[in-house]
Structure 1
Amino acid sequence: MDEDLKITLEDEEGVLHDYFLVYSFDHPELDRHYTIYTDYIPDEENNISYYAMYHDGDEEEGLQHAVEEDTDWDFVNSVLEAFLGEDDDFE
């Protein structure tokens, strides 16, 4: 994996986890930038989980929010499906 595409995020308990950037994109109508990332660790069914975060353009540089709202996930899923060419739900 390319080290330039690697990010480290801290969870609620202060533990650091490494992830890999999959894709980033802007919302066509909102001043919002999304980033999709994964740890590439398969679950017991051999599926890979994808996660997403966003940054609103009017906020401080580097401030990221976890995607939690269904409307945001619907948008992220549609972009990721087009990017990966799959019909799975991601979250």
Structure 2
Amino acid sequence: MPADEEKMGLTKREMIVVAETHRGNYTVWIKATENGFWKIKIHLDGQDRVYDVETTRGVTKGWRNLSDAILFAQENCKYFKSIFIEIGEWVLTKRE
């Protein structure tokens, strides 16, 4: 990411709006971090930006357990085009 580009994030409330207004036009990635947490990233179709899910304080939200991150995505990331879980070299997706 270029130094002058600002990191973009979405709060839970903003993410729900994105899910509603971009139905079928966004992808969800759940990724493991180096420190053992899981984070969710939102990729909007047609945009080069990737949005992290953030707390209301503007800090990237992290989940200790993968199951909690998946549950959050199920409840708040409705109408996605696709969803992926990245664990090391493995990438898992939702079955059609």
TM-score by length of 1: 0.34
Choose between structure 1 and 2 for higher RCO, CA contacts under 8 A separated by at least 6 residues.
2
More strand by share: 1
TM-score by length of 2: 0.32
